[in-house]
Amino acid sequence: MVYAMREALTIVAEEGLENCWARHRKNAEYMWAELEKVGLKMLVAKEHRLPTLTTVIIPDGVDGPAVIKMMREDFKIEIGGPLGPLNCWRIGLMGYNSRQENARLVVSAVDECIKSQTAKAKL
């Protein structure tokens, strides 16, 4: 664990702390915009959001745990479920994974999982 922490700090030092913060903010804002384009809403107002954790309101009629399971099994992407009474998914975008291509992949996968449920419901 100490070696992993040292390596992580080396990577941050090479990128530069301010550059790291800016990359996280840029990629989070990209992901928020893409999630909104597919019709999803964020739980937290933009001015209070963290760039490393996005909370997405689970739309009415969507089985949230089923989406989490499908994301994990079909796309190998792990997202979190709600904590307490909140009806949301928790999506982390941090460290090395804070990349635009990863944000795009997550949004596409979530959208496909939701569409899969609505297609089944129509049948």
- Is the confidence at residue 123, as pLDDT, over 80? no
For 73-107, the DSSP string reads HHH----B---TT--EEEEE--GGG--HHHHHHHH
For the segment 8-30, what is each residue's pLDDT rounded down to a tens digit?
999 999 999 999 999 999 999 99
Domain parsing of the chain, residue ranges = 17-122
pTM over 0.95: no
Confidence grade of residue 122 (pLDDT, cut at 50, 70, 90): low
For the segment 30-85, what is each residue's pLDDT rounded down to a tens digit?
999 999 999 999 999 999 999 999 999 999 999 999 999 999 999 999 999 999 99
pLDDT at position 13 is: 95
State which CATH number among 3.20.20.70, 3.10.20.740, 3.90.1150.10, 1.10.1240.10 fits the domain covering 17-122.
Answer: 3.90.1150.10
